[in-house]
């Protein structure tokens, strides 16, 4: 078995894995990333990054590169998909920057990956593509990972950053599997210069139309692209692989014209099943630990899956840096620091999922409830999420922050996905 000066093996070159690799290289640590894909090619759609995620990237010296590739969002609108009435509007431009020190932004995933890969390459991170993790053996001194091709890789420790359907998680906790929500997402990029595009879609705003058993989200990525996500509850009686999509047809039938315009343009050629996992208290064993979706995959309601992965990476690197070579202690400290915050994101995202997709009298009640979040109140309700700056102990912050205590446990959503 290997010793502490051997590389820390990171499984997965997604947002979490690359950010961790970079953060560890900045501390002078030796890392090796194993990625199953032959070529690192993130799906080509948008991603929202709250001020907490922007802050975490900034702590790694990536603020300028991220800002050059992203669009600052002025407002998040949640509207009723059937009558287009406003459910909630959150001013996110200057107010968010002033309150949380960083903006609310959106970025093309390919651009985010590009900047992470460039930074990893500058930092000398070793990434092996076409290297699918299969299993890991660990003892008190190190780990040996095996890939599906039969290669063995020795390291000081192993971090599973391999996403929702994590093989590292399956090795450690085989009973913890992804839980399908019964919903699926369809994504499309539209041309913002399309002359038929409704003018209200051209602003630097995230808009979510919440409808019975479906929602539609869109936001611009730069000046040319409109990112569109449609999420529908799958019809249990229908053929799960059918592309005729009775669910989208149903949503089109009841949606307000602007939401319908978007529903008519979404591509149904590929869809992503929406899943999360049950919150887990322990994310690892000894020299093996999970981060990101592998540890705490969440529904997209708060638009924070990647944000949590990036926060994890910054926190884990910092714990490793402070642990004076005691990697097991660093993993335990990281797990303890992050577990409540990420579980809160998972559980609030589930609760809000129901609120977003309700109908009838529930939808009317929702309209009244959200009216309470006028003005700055919405930002204070989100302070636990967007105001997090890491390393100052998540649990203490959301108990002690007077603004958050005032708002109690009321939930408030962001236009997730």
Ligand X SMILES: Cc1cc2nc3c(=O)[nH]c(=O)nc-3n(C[C@H](O)[C@H](O)[C@H](O)COP(=O)(O)OP(=O)(O)OC[C@H]3O[C@@H](n4cnc5c(N)ncnc54)[C@H](O)[C@@H]3O)c2cc1C
Q: Which of 13, 87, 143, 330 binds ligand X (CB under 6 A)?
A: 13
Taking the C-alpha atoms of residue 11 and residue 306, their distance in angstroms, rounded to an integer, is: 16
**399 exposed, middle or buried (CB, 10 Å; 0-12, 13-18, 19+)?**
exposed
User: For ligand X, which stretch binds (CB under 6 A), given 10-18, 118-126, 335-343, 370-378?
Assistant: 10-18
Q: Is residue 155 a contact residue for ligand X (CB under 6 A)?
A: no
User: Measuring CA to CA, how many Å separate 338 from each of 164, 308, 335?
Assistant: 18, 9, 5
User: For ligand X, which stretch binds (CB under 6 A), given 82-90, 302-310, 330-338, 395-403?
Assistant: 302-310
CB nearer to ligand X: pick between 2 and 36: 36
Q: Is residue 272 a contact residue for ligand X (CB under 6 A)?
A: yes
**Rounded (5°) CA angle 158-164-168:** 25
Taking the C-alpha atoms of residue 157 and residue 45, their distance in angstroms, rounded to an integer, is: 33
**76 closest CA partner among 379, 372, 389:** 379
Q: List, in order, residues 6 or more apart from 26 with CB less than 8 Å away.
A: 60, 61, 123, 317
Q: What is the greatest pairwise CA distance in the chain?
A: 64
- x/- map, 114-153, ligand X, by CB under 6 A: ------------------xx--------------------
- x/- map, 182-221, ligand X, by CB under 6 A: ---x------------------------------------
Residues 14 to 73 in contact with ligand X, rule: CB under 6 A: 14-17, 34-37, 47-48
| Cβ pair 304, 341 in contact under 8 A | no
CB nearer to ligand X: pick between 36 and 407: 36
CB nearer to ligand X: pick between 33 and 381: 33
Helix (H, G, I), strand (E, B) or coil at 305: helix
CB nearer to ligand X: pick between 90 and 294: 294
Residue 49, both tokens? 């990054």
Q: Is residue 161 a contact residue for ligand X (CB under 6 A)?
A: yes
- Report the interface residues with ligand X, using CB under 6 A: 11-17, 34-37, 47-48, 132-133, 161-163, 167, 185, 229, 272, 292-294, 300, 303-307, 309, 417
């Amino acid at each position: 078995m290997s010793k502490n000066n051997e590389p820390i093996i990171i499984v997965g070159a997604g947002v979490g894995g690359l950010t961790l690799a970079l953060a560890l290289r900045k501390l002078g640590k030796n890392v090796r990333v194993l990625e199953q894909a032959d070529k690192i090619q993130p799906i080509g759609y948008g991603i929202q990054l709250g001020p907490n995620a922007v802050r975490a990237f900034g702590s790694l010296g990536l603020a300028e590169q991220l800002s050059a590739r992203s669009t600052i969002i002025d407002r998040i609108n949640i509207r009723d998909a059937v009558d287009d009435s406003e459910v909630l509007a959150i001013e996110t431009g200057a107010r968010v920057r002033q309150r949380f020190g960083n903006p609310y932004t959106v970025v093309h995933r390919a651009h985010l990956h590009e900047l992470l890969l460039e930074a990893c390459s500058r930092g000398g991170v070793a990434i092996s593509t076409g290297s699918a993790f299969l299993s890991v053996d660990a003892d008190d001194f190190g780990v040996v990972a095996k890939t599906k091709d039969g290669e063995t890789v020795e390291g000081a420790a192993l971090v599973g950053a391999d996403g929702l359907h994590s093989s590292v998680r399956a090795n450690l906790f085989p009973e913890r599997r992804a839980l399908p929500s019964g919903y699926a997402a369809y994504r499309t990029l539209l041309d913002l210069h399309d002359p038929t595009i409704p003018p209200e879609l051209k602003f630097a705003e995230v808009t979510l139309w919440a409808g019975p058993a479906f929602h539609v989200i869109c936001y611009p990525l730069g000046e040319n692209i409109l990112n569109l996500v449609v999420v529908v509850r799958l019809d249990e009686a229908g053929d799960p692989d059918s592309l005729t999509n009775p669910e989208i047809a149903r949503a089109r039938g009841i949606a307000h014209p602007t939401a319908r315009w978007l529903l008519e343009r979404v591509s149904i050629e590929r869809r992503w099943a929406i899943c999360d996992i049950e919150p887990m208290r322990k994310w690892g064993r000894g020299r093996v630990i999970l981060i990101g979706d592998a540890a705490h995959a969440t529904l997209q309601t708060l638009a924070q899956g990647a944000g949590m992965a990036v926060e994890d990476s910054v926190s884990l690197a910092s714990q490793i840096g402070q642990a004076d070579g005691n990697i097991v202690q660093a993993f335990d400290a990281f797990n303890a620091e992050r577990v409540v915050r990420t579980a809160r994101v998972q559980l609030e995202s589930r609760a809000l999922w129901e609120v977003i997709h309700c109908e009838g009298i529930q939808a009317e009640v929702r309209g009244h409830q959200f009216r309470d979040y006028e003005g700055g109140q919405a930002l204070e309700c989100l302070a636990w999420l967007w105001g997090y700056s890491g390393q100052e102990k998540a649990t203490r912050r959301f108990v002690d922050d007077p603004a958050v205590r005032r708002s109690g446990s009321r939930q408030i959503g962001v236009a997730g996905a």
